[in-house]
Amino acid sequence: MGDRIKSYKLSPQLRAELNFQVRSGRSNFNNRIPFTNPLKNVMIPWKTVSITIGIFLIIVAGYIGVKKTYEYTAKKAETARIARLEEYNKHVEEVQTGVAKEATDALSFVTLSQKYLKSGDAERAEAAAVLAPTKDPKWRDGYINLGQVYLSINKFDLAKQSLDKALAIDPFSGQAHYLLSLTYQELNDSNGAKTEFAKAKAFGFETELGG
């Protein structure tokens, strides 16, 4: 156990000096510090506070309103975009279905695609060109024709993919290298364009599809 607390009494003289008094079993100091209310004389500008709170609530309400308007507008725009996409896909499907009935083999679809390309019908030209390789996946010129059609309608990434497939079948196709060089130009790849054009010159240009 710890040491017991010792009790020390103040001497009469010290008690007198501290003006110590004992009343009803409690000790008090005569020289107490009087309590004062610090907010007694403070004037709260209730009008200013009310205006500030009102402005804050208006700003919050405005923010919520703008946010909800933006969300509604964005949702409406997305719904319209999806509707347009579905309508376009439906149209493309109808075009492809119609073109599919106009030819039978790969060569006839290539010929049909060139016919539509010359007449300015890009949709049907693309549809016919896409169908050609499905009829003969190993025919180089089906992919060359598809690459040319894509190049003509400004779908350069697809043109590159098609010409790469043609060159995978026949790496020595001068026409495929030439069209690929034009594709690289459109893709702003000058080094690729120069390389492919050099190969096209080395292998010679083909002016007719087929073979």
For residue 45, pLDDT over 60 is answered with yes
**pLDDT (0 to 100) of residue 181:** 96
Q: Is the pLDDT of residue 35 over 80?
A: no
Q: Are 209 and 144 spatial neighbours (Cβ–Cβ below 8 Å)? A: yes
Confidence of residue 167 (pLDDT cuts 50, 70, 90): very high
Q: Looking at residue 210, what is its pLDDT?
A: 44
The Cα-based distances of 161 to 72, 98, 128, 166 in angstroms read 40, 25, 17, 9
Per-residue pLDDT, averaged over 170-192, amounts to 96
Structural fold of domain 105-203: 1.25.40
Domain positions in the chain are 45-101, 105-203
Which long-range contacts (C-beta less than 8 Å, at least 24 apart) are formed by 90-99? Answer: 92/123, 92/127, 95/123, 95/124, 95/127, 96/127, 96/130, 96/131, 98/124, 99/124, 99/127, 99/128, 99/131
At 165 the pLDDT is 97
